[in-house]
């Protein structure tokens, strides 16, 4: 059971690090001029971000269902629920940048000289940076939850 639980935790961490890496990549890429090629790169990175989020959720569910602590531990943890709510907020915040990347790729296909205005790229980058900061809050909740702070 020890190796099983460690393996589930490892998967959860791997997908979390991939998610944060993809989010960081978006923030860095949005500092560069966004032309048609960069719009396609941003969309690919965002798809990677979305896939890692889905895998992270699946790994988290696996830990809750088959992990050593079990559902009874998580159910009683207020910071587990805070973490879930925060993850949902991050998901909602990610909709805006994803839609922008999709629109940029669509517009780039129609216009060979496509370039995103500096202001628009800055606005989307600000949204991505908000996600980054909310991830930091999620990590705080995860640390508190894992230690049983506030639980019954």
Q: Domain extents for the chain? A: 2-146
Class of domain 2-146: mainly alpha
| Predicted structure pTM score | 0.90
What confidence score (pLDDT) does residue 80 get?
95
What confidence score (pLDDT) does residue 150 get?
82
Q: Which residues of the chain have pLDDT under 50?
A: none
What confidence score (pLDDT) does residue 107 get?
97
What confidence score (pLDDT) does residue 152 get?
65
Q: What are the beta bridge partners of residue 115?
A: 35
């Amino acid at each position: 059971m020890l190796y099983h639980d460690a393996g589930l935790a490892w998967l959860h961490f791997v997908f979390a690090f991939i998610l944060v890496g993809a989010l960081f990549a978006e923030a860095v890429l949005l500092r560069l001029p966004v032309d048609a090629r960069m719009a396609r790169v941003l969309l690919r990175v965002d798809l990677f971000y979305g896939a890692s989020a889905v895998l992270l959720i699946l790994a988290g569910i696996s830990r809750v269902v088959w992990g050593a602590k079990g559902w009874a531990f998580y159910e009683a943890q207020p910071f587990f629920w805070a973490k879930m709510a925060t993850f949902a907020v991050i998901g909602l915040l990610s909709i805006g940048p994803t839609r922008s990347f999709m629109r940029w790729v669509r517009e780039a296909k129609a216009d060979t000289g496509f370039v995103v205005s500096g202001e628009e790229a800055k606005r989307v980058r600000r949204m991505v940076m908000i996600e980054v900061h909310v991830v930091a809050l999620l990590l705080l909740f995860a640390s508190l939850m894992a230690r049983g702070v506030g639980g019954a």
